[in-house]
Structure 1
């Protein structure tokens, strides 16, 4: 800390306080205050600032609760009423897998910027940026709660940077070819007469419903929980549009307790979007044999759990030796739109993203072959 005299022709000599310090997060800061008429005024200001700083630092150390303690407290007090069941499951699984037995045992007051940045740097050696972003979200809500109730005086999370991948570790988002998807759809509908659980009219209808779920995912990019909650009324086949209103709530629930919720991933997840005439033709044929309110259901009109559909998919894909999971349909849909030259803003709306950067950075991944084709087409035209 230093006090210096400043010469000013207009106001005469004044004094300036220049204070360098580390805040409660351990981040270096500098505070400058000018305009003091006397040295003693500047000295008093310096002394008061230092005392306030020491109080803040001590208050920041005062809590004896760990990060885990405060996370559990937050989820019990606020998370219970704030989040949908699936969101709570998402946070709890993230906490259990990545935080609970690592930095979660640390005293909240001792978690400074440097500790947390080192934690994320270390985690980046094992996990990709999307996983690290999920972990950061958990830290963000917990630290904001701790700040609100007075456990901490400053929130370090806005300073935390997610380490970028090196080129050799670049994430490759998987997509599915229409050829392989057709094979999967055909195999899904095959009823094995030798298996009493996979035969009969109920099984035949259910397997066709599975296939329809894949077709809808392929041509809309809907998430599996949204697809399985669709009703007939959500489609306007004459005008080729679809309204996404709800998703099924299923995490940790028995089949009889599954229900729909209007609380989707974000506000932008809800809305009406255009669908292709090709999908409309599939749906018209499906509605001729599906008498139920829900578009995707079993032979009795009951909900289909994602785990049940995914289990059947794994069996089929193993037999066909094809790598596939349902979310690949969303990647495929978005990537195809972008590679076909669709305006990014249109892609964003069709995908129902809140931010166009999500559309561009996560769901669009042109491969080297695509890049070569683009260059070849460009320079062939210039010959």
Structure 2
């Protein structure tokens, strides 16, 4: 057997006089090599075929015989590889992104025919159409993960998503935070509202909407004035065991995404008193409802004890904000809570823990504008100190 050239793979002469060569194109589920074979009358002919295949690999072209389309592969990837690794709400989100954004543009392409420019075109078109950069990043995450799995399965040999560039966010939405005057106006409008304690809780603890609606009395320690965040309420698609969607969505309690999201928060006096009063109100509503009352254990319920539907809760919120002349979403209450803390020179690490951010960099990035103002005030204090010292 002649010595093979560099990069030629394995080439040898068969007993029938023909030349044969192969290269490794992937691995099966047991870790065994998957090989692609090439044949020719001469050694050079086989070497040329192998070199052509290696060049195609560099360009991201699959040299296997699989003709599966991206649409079919994404369906396999989502249901067989991701379903048991992600939450129901994330599954719904991935399914929606694939159906509405990826498949209409790239779904009919065969995996082996996908090029970086195809994905780049998708990202650019979505950006031009006004899709948020965050959503485009989600598209990229799905494609990157699915194509990585395709490599492991020997369907392709290169992840073409790695050769793309995500559009920059040139129109970042301004984070809405209530001014002190607006916060005062909001609190004034809350007077007489049955769900006032929920909104006060958001402003004084920074709890998310889903965390507030998932809160149960067993998680509220009124004696020691603290709250334990254990769950979040989310609405997901109602599916059967085959992941087929039924007619209605359902509300579910989900554990926090990260360890930091599940946390213990001290209960401020103003929120403590609101909860004490609401508990008394709830007991009176239970007495009036009699046998029709559902003792669900949730803190914030309807007048008959059932959990509050998030959409109904938000209708109440937007009615209140309209009355107060405020154009904000519910998350603005969380931002306002964090901003007030940082304005009071609270250590960012403490703010991170209260908000349940998994990493302090998240807190620093979101509230960088507040921290800059704090730094500016600190410099002004140093400046005044130096001026006083030099004038003595």
SS in 1 for 2:134: helix
**Contact 1:337-1:347 at 8 Å conserved across structures:** yes
Aligned residue number for residue 234 of structure 1: 219
The normalised TM-score by structure 1 is 0.69
Among 137, 145, 151, which residue is 1:147 paired with? 151
Post-superposition offset of 1:61 = 6.8
1:55–1:133: structure 2 CA closer, same or farther, 3 Å change rule? closer
**1:265-312 deviation line (CA, Å, top 9, x unaligned):** 334322334443443333333333333621111111111111111122
Aligned residue number for residue 261 of structure 1: 254
Among 134, 156, 166, which residue is 1:130 paired with? 134
Aligned residue number for residue 281 of structure 1: 273
1:261–1:345: structure 2 CA closer, same or farther, 3 Å change rule? same
Post-superposition offset of 1:68 = 3.0
**Contact 1:85-1:249 at 8 Å conserved across structures:** no
Distance in 1 separating the partners of 2:342 and 2:136: 26
Q: Which runs of 5+ in 1 are unaligned?
A: 1-15, 25-42, 191-206
1:111–1:343: structure 2 CA closer, same or farther, 3 Å change rule? farther
Among 242, 247, 250, which residue is 2:235 paired with? 250
SS in 2 for 1:301: coil
**Contact 1:225-1:248 at 8 Å conserved across structures:** yes
SS in 1 for 2:342: helix
Among 82, 89, 93, which residue is 1:90 paired with? 93
1:275–1:245: structure 2 CA closer, same or farther, 3 Å change rule? same
Aligned residue number for residue 76 of structure 1: 79
1:290-369 to 2 correspondences below 5 Å: 290-291=282-283, 293-366=297-370
Distance in 2 separating the partners of 1:259 and 1:289: 26
Post-superposition offset of 1:127 = 4.0
Post-superposition offset of 1:228 = 0.5
The normalised TM-score by structure 2 is 0.68
Distance in 2 separating the partners of 1:60 and 1:217: 56
Aligned residue number for residue 12 of structure 2: none
SS in 2 for 1:152: coil
Q: Which runs of 5+ in 2 are unaligned?
A: 9-24, 26-43, 239-246, 284-294, 388-392
1:169-188 to 2 correspondences below 5 Å: 169-181=171-183, 183-184=185-186, 187=189
Aligned residue number for residue 208 of structure 1: 194
SS in 2 for 1:353: coil
Q: Number of residue pairs matched?
A: 324
Post-superposition offset of 1:151 = 2.7
